């Protein structure tokens, strides 16, 4: 017998066809392998699809996963892959158009290591198509194959065959970087596999075309064409690169739910939006060790400041001082005994700005090289926020300026803040705002999409939820701004367009922009919250 198999069946309003599909599939899979499962993913059906699937009893057990809304075949297959329990995982269509005996050579190739990904290919000479496609669909299919070859370099003429199988570890790695919910997920998954160097082998299939296809030729073809160029852009920016750090698929760190929609991808990382609470977070989430390794001596003099760190942190000292003086006005009434802790203190500029308000100023900084640059009249502690020994109930104010988004677990972070604050103490934080005008203007090139440095991004709603669930009272929340030089501003506005950004920054510098400082909205939120 072949290895154990999880077979995913995405279904949307399939109550009529599903009983026959499950009966046929269950019998076929039982003949192929000694242990298997069918995973039916109900994609927000408005009929009784999930009840039909739950009532089915056959030789192979069926698990049913339900989505609250119709999101598309890609989202459904991805969820099924994520939930798969067996070493091999595959998927097929809800109308069961393929003879599943084609899975046998696929599974053998996967088991032997001859392939990491096995895909059905209707264009192979050995494939059998027992009923013909209509002329329009046939022509559109050939045109689409040409488009995927020309635009994203796929070496497969048939990327859309609805019978594919994978090693589970490979499938979960590939689908973890999915950004397309609809039919285009097929070619995106294959593009990811090729980009990561996995072995993709093609196998013949026997197909009986079902005239009740869910594909709407015109509308879906337009969307898939748009998705091809999305994948092309993602390939160019390295969105499908194999991660060099340890990362695992994770539920939402704010609410714990697992349903999400992809928002952006870059450098092999993907940011998603939780469909339950709206938090944006990296999924897969890099390990704590991988994140800690980001903050070395080069962080504050980074060659890639739009991915991590700062190009020249020291050069921006005066801008930071003015910005922090502006933000510290919000905690003038919270000085109390005069103790402040700045988490992620960098070179200590916020504490420099706080000298007039606070007599005892603590800096917590992960980078030892940066900590050495902090003024000697501040108390400096080197280490992580979670792992450093600091006095409990001691501080009047705990500050995180562009730091909260670096922490993968908001609940643990805010619990730690409460632990450090005196009763009635104030948390002062500034963090990027996914609801800001800047995010909407820059879209997928938003300057705060710095992966893997930024692991969680908040809106006003999700930030309030995090704080209130941790026992804080939100006192004030406002759109944040910062003082910047015009050359820096030009490069940030054109984030994602390297040539144009460099040209604009150079021009601004030649016109004296390096010496002109202005206060501009930064696309972030600043909050003050009281520990109750």
Tell me the percentage of the chain whose pLDDT exceeds 70.
86
What is the CATH code for 290-531? 3.40.50.150
d(CA 384, CA 401): 15
d(CA 178, CA 91): 16
Strand 280-282 with 88-91, pairing: unpaired
* Per-residue pLDDT reduced to its tens digit, 497-525: 556 556 655 665 665 655 667 778 889 99
State which H helix or E strand residue 414 sits in. helix 410-420
Q: Compute the chain's Rg from CA coordinates.
A: 27
d(CA 219, CA 310): 44
- Look up residue 299 and give its DSSP letter: G
Measuring CA to CA, how many Å separate 366 from each of 343, 397, 403? 9, 20, 11
Q: Report yes or no: 429 and 400 within 8 Å, Cβ to Cβ.
A: yes
State which H helix or E strand residue 200 sits in. strand 200-203
What does 167-193 look like in DSSP terms, one character per residue?
EHHHHHHHHTT----STTHHHHHHHHH
d(CA 186, CA 204): 17
Helix axes 217-236, 185-195, angle to 10 degrees: 20
CB atoms closer than 10 angstroms to residue 422: 16
Question: Would you say residue 491 has pLDDT above 90?
Answer: no
- Look up residue 179 and give its DSSP letter: -
Can you read off the two tokens belonging to residue 32? 């192929």
d(CA 282, CA 447): 16
Q: Report yes or no: 37 and 7 within 8 Å, Cβ to Cβ.
A: yes
Question: Would you say residue 209 has pLDDT above 60?
Answer: no
Strand 280-282 with 269-274, pairing: antiparallel
Residue 404: what pLDDT? 98
Residue 291: what pLDDT? 87
State which H helix or E strand residue 281 sits in. strand 280-282
What are the residues whose beta carbons fall under 8 Å from the beta carbon of 441, sequence distance 6 or more? none
Question: Would you say residue 10 has pLDDT above 50?
Answer: yes
d(CA 33, CA 106): 13
d(CA 46, CA 138): 30
- The overall average pLDDT reported for the chain is 87
d(CA 429, CA 342): 10
Question: Would you say residue 354 has pLDDT above 50?
Answer: yes
**Dihedral (CA of 446, 450, 451, 453) sign:** negative
Higher per-residue pLDDT: 112 or 216: 112
Higher per-residue pLDDT: 249 or 279: 279
What does 347-370 look like in DSSP terms, one character per residue?
TTHHHHHTTTT-SEEEEEES-HHH
Residue 519: closest CA among 359, 384, 327: 327
Can you read off the two tokens belonging to residue 67? 């989505």
Residue 437: closest CA among 467, 404, 481: 481
Residue 273: closest CA among 114, 461, 519: 461
The SS3 of residue 13 is coil
Residue 130: what pLDDT? 62
Higher per-residue pLDDT: 8 or 450: 8
d(CA 530, CA 68): 36
d(CA 362, CA 337): 13
* Per-residue pLDDT reduced to its tens digit, 389-438: 999 999 999 999 999 999 999 999 999 999 999 999 999 999 999 999 98
pLDDT category at 211 given cuts 50, 70, 90 is very low
Mean pLDDT of the region 59-88? 93
Can you read off the two tokens belonging to residue 451? 């992966």
Helix axes 217-236, 135-152, angle to 10 degrees: 10
d(CA 450, CA 433): 13
Q: Report yes or no: 305 and 488 within 8 Å, Cβ to Cβ.
A: no
Residue 89: what pLDDT? 97
Domain 5-236 falls under CATH 3.30.70.2190: no
* Per-residue pLDDT reduced to its tens digit, 158-208: 888 889 999 999 998 899 888 888 888 999 999 999 999 999 999 999 987
CB atoms closer than 10 angstroms to residue 50: 19
- Can you name the residues that pair with 416 across neighbouring β-strands? none
Question: Would you say residue 265 has pLDDT above 60?
Answer: yes
* Per-residue pLDDT reduced to its tens digit, 18-49: 999 999 999 999 999 989 999 999 999 999 99
Question: Would you say residue 52 has pLDDT above 60?
Answer: yes
- Look up residue 513 and give its DSSP letter: G
The SS3 of residue 421 is strand
For the ranges 232-241, 332-341, 376-385, 484-493, which has the lowest average pLDDT? Answer: 484-493
Residue 508: what pLDDT? 55
CB atoms closer than 10 angstroms to residue 376: 7
Mean pLDDT of the region 240-244? 75
Number of H helices, E strands in the chain: 17, 22
Read off φ and ψ for residue 507, nearest 5 degrees. -65, -45
Return the residue matching tokens 């459904």. Answer: 76
Higher per-residue pLDDT: 451 or 210: 451
């Amino acid at each position: 017998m072949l290895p154990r198999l999880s077979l995913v069946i995405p279904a949307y309003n399939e109550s009529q066809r599903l009983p026959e599909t499950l009966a046929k599939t269950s019998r076929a899979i039982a003949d192929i392998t000694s242990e298997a499962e069918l995973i039916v993913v109900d994609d927000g059906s408005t009929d009784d699809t999930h009840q039909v699937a739950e009532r089915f009893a056959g030789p192979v057990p069926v698990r049913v996963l339900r989505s609250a809304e119709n999101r598309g075949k890609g989202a459904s297959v991805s969820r099924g892959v994520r939930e798969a329990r067996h070493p091999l995982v595959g998927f097929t269509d809800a109308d069961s158009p393929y003879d599943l005996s084609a899975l046998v050579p696929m599974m053998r190739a996967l088991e032997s290591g001859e392939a990491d990904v096995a895909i059905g290919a209707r264009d192979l000479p050995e494939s059998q198509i027992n009923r013909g496609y209509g002329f329009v669909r046939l022509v559109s299919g050939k045109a689409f194959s040409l488009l995927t070859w020309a635009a994203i370099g796929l070496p497969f003429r048939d990327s859309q065959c609805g019978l594919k199988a994978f090693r589970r570890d490979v499938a979960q790695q590939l689908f973890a970087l999915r950004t397309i919910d609809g039919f285009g997920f097929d070619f995106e998954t294959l593009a990811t596999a090729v980009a990561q160097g996995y072995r993709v082998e093609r196998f013949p299939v026997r197909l009986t075309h079902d005239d009740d296809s869910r594909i709407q030729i015109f509308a879906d073809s337009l969307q898939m064409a748009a998705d091809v160029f999305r994948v092309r852009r993602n390939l160019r920016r390295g969105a499908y690169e194999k991660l060099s750090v340890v990362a695992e698929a994770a539920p939402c760190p704010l609410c714990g739910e697992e349903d999400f929609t992809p928002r952006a991808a870059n450098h092999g990382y993907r940011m998603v939006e939780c469909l339950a609470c709206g938090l944006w977070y990296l999924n897969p989430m890099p390990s704590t060790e991988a994140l800690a390794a980001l903050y070395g001596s080069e962080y504050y003099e980074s060659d890639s400041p739009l991915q991590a760190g700062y190009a020249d942190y020291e050069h921006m000292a005066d801008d930071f001082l003015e910005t922090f003086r502006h933000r510290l006005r919000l905690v003038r009434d919270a000085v109390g005994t005069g103790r402040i802790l700045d988490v992620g203190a960098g070179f200590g500029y916020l504490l420099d700005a706080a000298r007039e308000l606070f007599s005892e100023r603590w800096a917590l900084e992960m980078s030892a090289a940066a900590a050495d640059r902090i003024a000697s009249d501040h108390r400096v502690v080197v280490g992580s926020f979670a792992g450093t020994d600091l006095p409990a109930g001691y501080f009047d104010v705990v500050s995180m300026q562009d730091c909260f988004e670096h922490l993968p677990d908001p609940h643990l972070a805010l619990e730690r803040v409460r632990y450090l604050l005196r009763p009635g103490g104030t948390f002062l934080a500034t963090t990027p705002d996914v609801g800001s005008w800047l995010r909407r203007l820059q879209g997928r090139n938003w300057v705060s999409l710095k992966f893997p440095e930024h692991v969680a991004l908040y809106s006003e709603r999700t930030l309030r939820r995090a704080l209130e669930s941790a026992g804080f009272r939100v006192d004030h929340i406002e759109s944040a701004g910062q003082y910047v030089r015009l050359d820096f501003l030009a490069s940030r506005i054109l984030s994602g367009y390297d040539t144009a950004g460099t040209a604009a920054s150079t021009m601004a510098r030649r016109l004296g922009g390096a010496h002109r400082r202005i206060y501009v909205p930064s696309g972030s939120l600043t909050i003050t919250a009281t520990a109750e």
